[in-house]
A and B are shown apart, each in its own frame.
Chain A
């Protein structure tokens, strides 16, 4: 039976700004005092249920739990789960709830974590649901911004690439809209613009300043953060559209000529061609640091949801 008051992370808005600040504080403490946390989850099991392939997110969850002293079980594609035999998601989740203390789930269908949370008797973490939400990526992004810029307010943030299907984009806009004096520069081809509802119900509703452009360099000198994204092949029904749009933006050293000295360049990874490798040596490139931060914030999240002090 479902326990009372189980906390889940389905959408970044499930957590208050205060709770996110606390998670960032714990993650920072983990970074400086890793040994202190290495047995916090002894005897606990994390199930990683990945109905859609992912390397980074799954491994970072597994690394997070292992670094906390816990154990991990799970699958990395739907083909190796009972889904291939026709089992519903709800049944899979109810079963796995008896095998693990916490579940991190990625699913290609949007809203799948809502279904999972109704059936689970342990906390559910949304590790990405289709083009919808990816809240732990957002927590990773917030930790990275907080560490690199020493603040989460007063920022001009450029979001570039697939703003239509990019779940990391929707989540980070939703999260950053709760901080003061945030301005977004939305850089995308017309076909991959931010959905109207995100503009009306998040940006305009919260009086957030934004500009839409399809020119990557136009506002480069204004940016404190440049968040690049990949055009995701798996989100297109038509391959011709994907091929036409995949190389629309390629960030290279030259395009950074007018950028601020303390610009923070981020990317949820994996990248394909949207960031030229010649940017990697630039001290402003923070995407690998960002990927590493993902482990620490997930450690903090697991501790919070399992109520481990």
Chain B
């Protein structure tokens, strides 16, 4: 399979298999006006398989969103056909408007104009809790 190299944009590498589609959706890449390549199950020496995302434009991307889904990825920034930066990510301490609280009793379910905020409360177990009601974020059920 041949995918064109990109002149300017991002190559998000070392994505755990299955996570590229989640990053694609969370970054809302279906609504940007440039080429995007989503490649799954690419052969990898380290992990046998991995996913890859190529974005053909230097758009503003929210690294916290990517790190939330998969903190082990590498974000390569490409300018004039050259990788000018290899960015490693860290699990964000705070998620703002990345996920919605799915507790129906949470104030965020009714209050308008309220940021959806989650705090990292356990780094080792990667547990986030709603800033308001402290409900644990179920990563596979996020709504954005």
Number of interface residues of A (CB under 8 A): 17
What are 18 inter-chain pairs, A to B, with CB distance below 8 A? A88-B113, A89-B111, A90-B111, A90-B113, A108-B105, A109-B106, A109-B107, A109-B110, A110-B105, A110-B134, A111-B106, A112-B132, A114-B107, A129-B133, A197-B134, A197-B136, A201-B121, A201-B122
**Contacts A110-B106, A114-B107 supplied; 10 other A-B pairs, CB < 8 Å:** A108-B105, A109-B109, A110-B135, A111-B131, A112-B107, A115-B114, A115-B132, A132-B105, A132-B133, A197-B136
- In the complex the two chains form, what is the Cα distance from A90 to B132 in whole Å? 14
Q: A109-B109, A110-B103, A111-B106 are in contact. Are A132 and B114 (CB under 8 A)?
A: no
Asked if B74 lies at the interface with its beta carbon under 8 angstroms from chain A, I say: no
Asked if A70 lies at the interface with its beta carbon under 8 angstroms from chain B, I say: no
Contact with A along B104-144 (1 / 0, CB 8 A): 01111111111000000110000000111111100000000
Contact with A along B6-47 (1 / 0, CB 8 A): 000000000000000000000000000000000000000000
Question: Are B132 and A111 closer than 8 Å at their CB atoms?
Answer: yes
- In the complex the two chains form, what is the Cα distance from A108 to B108 in whole Å? 12
Q: How far is the CB of B109 from chain A (nearest CB, A)?
A: 7
Question: Are A130 and B105 closer than 8 Å at their CB atoms?
Answer: yes
- In the complex the two chains form, what is the Cα distance from A129 to B108 in whole Å? 13
Asked if A131 lies at the interface with its beta carbon under 8 angstroms from chain B, I say: yes
- In the complex the two chains form, what is the Cα distance from A109 to B113 in whole Å? 16
Q: How far is the CB of A120 from chain B (nearest CB, A)?
A: 14
Taking CB atoms and an 8 Å cut-off, the chain A residues in 8-26 that contact chain B are none
Asked if A107 lies at the interface with its beta carbon under 8 angstroms from chain B, I say: yes
When the two chains form the complex, which single residue of B111, B121, B136 contacts A88, counting CB atoms closer than 8 Å? B111
Chain B, interface SS category: loop
- In the complex the two chains form, what is the Cα distance from A114 to B119 in whole Å? 14
Residues of A within 8 A of B111 (CB): 88-90, 109, 112, 115
Residues of A within 8 A of B134 (CB): 110-111, 132, 197
Q: How far is the CB of A103 from chain B (nearest CB, A)?
A: 16
Residues of B within 8 A of A115 (CB): 107, 111, 114, 132
Q: How far is the CB of B25 from chain A (nearest CB, A)?
A: 26
Residues of B within 8 A of A90 (CB): 111, 113-114
Residue of B whose beta carbon sits closest to that of A87: B112
When the two chains form the complex, which single residue of A88, A110, A201 contacts B133, counting CB atoms closer than 8 Å? A110
Residues of A within 8 A of B132 (CB): 110-112, 114-115
- In the complex the two chains form, what is the Cα distance from A90 to B111 in whole Å? 8
Taking CB atoms and an 8 Å cut-off, the chain A residues in 78-92 that contact chain B are 88-90
- In the complex the two chains form, what is the Cα distance from A103 to B89 in whole Å? 43
Question: Are B112 and A111 closer than 8 Å at their CB atoms?
Answer: no
Residue of A whose beta carbon sits closest to that of B134: A132
- In the complex the two chains form, what is the Cα distance from A119 to B64 in whole Å? 27
Residue of A whose beta carbon sits closest to that of B101: A111
Taking CB atoms and an 8 Å cut-off, the chain B residues in 79-107 that contact chain A are 103, 105-107
Across the A-B interface, the 6 shortest Cβ-Cβ residue pairs: A111-B132, A110-B133, A111-B133, A109-B107, A111-B107, A112-B107
Residues of A within 8 A of B136 (CB): 197
Residue of A whose beta carbon sits closest to that of B136: A197
- In the complex the two chains form, what is the Cα distance from A107 to B110 in whole Å? 12
Question: Are B113 and A111 closer than 8 Å at their CB atoms?
Answer: no
Residue of B whose beta carbon sits closest to that of A109: B107
When the two chains form the complex, which single residue of A111, A131, A132, A197 contacts B108, counting CB atoms closer than 8 Å? A111
Residues of B within 8 A of A114 (CB): 107, 131-132
Residues of B within 8 A of A109 (CB): 105-107, 109-111, 133
- In the complex the two chains form, what is the Cα distance from A111 to B111 in whole Å? 11
Residue of B whose beta carbon sits closest to that of A112: B107
- In the complex the two chains form, what is the Cα distance from A260 to B133 in whole Å? 38
Residue of A whose beta carbon sits closest to that of B130: A111
Residues of A within 8 A of B109 (CB): 109
- In the complex the two chains form, what is the Cα distance from A60 to B107 in whole Å? 25
Q: Which of B107, B108, B112, B134 has the most CB of A within 10 A?
A: B107
Taking CB atoms and an 8 Å cut-off, the chain B residues in 40-56 that contact chain A are none
Residues of B within 8 A of A112 (CB): 107, 111, 132
Taking CB atoms and an 8 Å cut-off, the chain A residues in 51-108 that contact chain B are 88-90, 107-108
Residue of B whose beta carbon sits closest to that of A170: B134
